[in-house]
Structure formats: C-alpha cells, structure tokens
Amino acid sequence: MTLSTKQKVYQEVIRELQRYIEVNNLNAGDRLPSERELAEKLNAGRSSVREALRALELIGLIETRHGEGTFLRAYRSYQTVELLSSFILRQENIKSELSITKKIIEKEAAKLACDRIGKTDFKELTFLTERNKNDPQTRHNAYFNYLFEKTENLLLKKIWLLMEEFSSAVNPQYYDESFYVNLTALFSEGDCTSIEELFLKLDR
C-alpha cells in the first residue's frame, strides 16, 4: 500500500467515524467503541482506525482514559488554534487574508443583526462599549459576540469565534471606539444600508 493510499484510508475512517457519531447521536462524555470494534463496524484496518483516533485526540475531539476507553469531548476551538496557528499563520499573506475575511464576516453579521436589534439591545451595546473602554480587544470581542448572537446563525458565529481566536493569537484586530458608537447609532436609527459604508471607512 502506498503512502497516498494509506492517507486516503485514514481520512475515510475519520469520515466514517463522524457518520457513526451522528447516526448514534453521541455527545460529549459518551464512550466510543473499542479500536477493534470500530475496525469491524467501519470495515477498516485497526492501524487506520488507530491513526484516525490519534488525529481526533490531537485536536481535542476525543480523549483516551486509561483502563476506561475512548470518549467524546466537548470541542474547544482554542486547542485547534494553538496547534494550527504556529503553522498556518506563519505566512504574512495568510495573516492579511485573515484580517480581511474576519472583517467581511463581522460586516455581514452586523447587517444580518440590524433588523433584530431593539431598544434593550442598543443599551447593551452601548454598555459593552463603555465598560471595555480601556480594553479594546475585550470590547471588540464582547460587542461582536453580542451581535453574532442576534444573527441567530450558529454556524456563522462558530466561524467567527474561530477566526477571532486565530486573530488574537497572531495579530489582535479591533476598531476605534468611535466605530462601535457609530454602529450602535445606525442600529438605533434602523439605518441598515449605511453599515456597508461604515465598514468601508475602516480601510481609508
């Protein structure tokens, strides 16, 4: 078996493991079958199953407890960030693209949340801006975390959280205080169309 073929088998085992977890509705804390049982259930070699489990453990998706077995873990994205940032984010162009991409996602989230923000939300956004006046990174995280909640789009929020952690690891990205004040003002006025222009000004 060639190396490329081995890699394909190992990757397919990971996909099959994912399907197995979904079909059996397994959650964090649930025990996975043994390596031997998985090999039989997935119709794969034990060495391929072993490599797949090692990869999942490396990124924090499962854990092996001596004498007990292998269990699913609650996913903590910072573990993946720590592992990958030292490799992926070494390239300067990747760092630049990360900043641009995160800004695009934040802009779209602001536009998506605009129609869902009411008077109570205006007060909360103002409070978050003022409370974290001396900590711009915390202010940015708290403000946009609130906005992403308002979008009611869990996938979009998860993508942003991962990118926010990547950004914090290599090049923290936040805006001047006036940006958050002006964005909150647009929300209070119901002026969703001007959000695009507000974000464009960040690049000028």
Pair 94, 69 in one domain: no
Last residue of a domain, one of 28, 50, 75: 75
Confidence of residue 130 (pLDDT cuts 50, 70, 90): very high
pLDDT at 150: 95
Please tell me which residue, 63 or 3, carries the higher pLDDT value. 63
- Has residue 183 been placed in a domain? yes
Pair 19, 117 in one domain: no
Q: Distances from the Cα of 80 to the Cαs of 83, 99, 162, 169, in angstroms?
A: 5, 18, 9, 12
Distance of CA 182 to the CA centre of its chain: 27
Q: Is 190 left (phi over 0), alpha (psi -120 to 50) or beta?
A: left
Give mean pLDDT, residues 67-80: 72
pLDDT tens per residue, range 13-31? 888 888 888 888 888 889 9
User: What's the pTM?
Assistant: 0.63
Give mean pLDDT, residues 41-70: 85
Pair 112, 191 in one domain: yes
Pair 113, 168 in one domain: yes
pLDDT at 75: 58
pLDDT tens per residue, range 145-193? 999 999 999 889 888 888 887 777 667 788 999 999 999 999 999 999 9
- Has residue 63 been placed in a domain? yes
- Has residue 20 been placed in a domain? yes
pLDDT tens per residue, range 75-127? 555 455 555 555 555 566 677 788 888 999 999 999 999 999 999 999 999 99
Pair 68, 113 in one domain: no
Pair 93, 70 in one domain: no
Most confident of 15-29, 38-52, 128-142: 128-142
Q: Distances from the Cα of 100 to the Cαs of 95, 107, 200, in angstroms?
A: 9, 11, 11
Residue 8 sits in a domain of what CATH number? Answer: 1.10.10.10
User: Going edge to edge, which strands form the sheet with 69-72?
Assistant: 31-32, 69-72, 62-65
Q: Which residues pair with 54 in a beta bridge?
A: none
| Structural domain boundaries enclosing 30 | 3-75
Pair 175, 199 in one domain: yes
| Number of independent structural domains in the chain | 2
Pair 170, 125 in one domain: yes
Pair 46, 70 in one domain: yes
